[in-house]
Amino acid sequence: MQKIRNNDELVLLLMWFKKLMEDTMISMKMRSMHEICFKGALTLMVLALTFVVYLAPANSQGLDTRPPTNLERMNITTTIETVFQGWAQLNLNLYMSAWSFNARQYFKNGTERDYNQILNSRRNAFKKYSRVDYSWTMIGCDIVGNKAYVACSYTMKFFKKNGSSFTENEDEYYTLEIMPDGRWLITENYDYLKIF
């Protein structure tokens, strides 16, 4: 596990962790004093995390947080694999089929994209490349209610049509939500976080 490199990465990571904890609280259906105590504990935890240099939020010990079943893990893995296959095939429809229509993407520089912006960004990006190779690993996965919180590490090599190429080695987080039809779709993506 590597150290967090800058405050932007820490802030983005804390946003993701706060969302995980908020969803845990909602799944517990806490009320009155219990809710106040939980929110106070949550605030203290977030403040404490500001001083932490090693973090692994996908392995958090939140209440009502559980590991995925084998079937859940397989379906969640399939969704994330679809994202990378979309890149490999430069297939926009395949890539976007992994995303919920209310999905958002966040980057450590403060950039935020909604579904349509993700679509337009990938449409433009796919035109630039002749090929994309990839490998990825799921580092951790927790389930809270109907959501999955996934930490991944990936390597992608991009081959441009002009003959040049470059490689990315990054870590990212996904929040996925199970749909009524049983599919897990991405609702949030926090990319370019090198913390593992």
User: What integer is the mean pLDDT of 18-32?
Assistant: 54
Query: What number of CA atoms fall less than 13 Å from residue 93's CA on the CB side?
Result: 0
Burial tier of 7 (Cβ tally within 10 Å: 0-12, 13-18, 19+):
exposed
Domain annotation for the chain: domains and CATH numbers: 1-196 (3.10.450.50)
Least-confidence region, from 13-17, 141-145, 154-158, 163-167: 13-17
Q: For residue range 80-109, list pLDDT tens digits in order.
A: 999 999 999 999 999 999 999 999 999 888
pLDDT at 13: 62
pLDDT at 18: 62
- CA-atom Rg of the chain in angstroms: 17
Residue 79 phi/psi, 5-degree rounding, is -65, -45
pLDDT band at 192 (very low <50, low <70, confident <90, very high): confident
- Mean confidence (pLDDT) of the chain: 80
Cβ density class 55-76: b for 16+ within 10 Å, e for less? bebbebebeebeebeeebbebb
pLDDT at 100: 98
Least-confidence region, from 15-29, 83-97, 103-117, 161-175: 15-29
Least-confidence region, from 57-66, 83-92, 101-110, 179-188: 57-66
User: What integer is the mean pLDDT of 61-88?
Assistant: 91
pTM score, whole prediction: 0.70
Residue 1 has pLDDT above 50, yes or no: no
| Cβ proximity of 108 and 12 under 8 Å | yes
pLDDT at 24: 53
The H or E element containing residue 49 is helix 32-49
Helices H / strands E in the chain, number of each: 5, 7
pLDDT at 50: 35
CA dist 4 and 6 (Å) reads 6
CA dist 180 and 57 (Å) reads 27
CA dist 165 and 158 (Å) reads 5
| Cβ proximity of 176 and 148 under 8 Å | yes
User: What integer is the mean pLDDT of 114-133?
Assistant: 97
* Cα separation values, 172 from 67, 149, 168, Å: 19, 11, 12
Least-confidence region, from 21-30, 107-116, 121-130, 184-193: 21-30
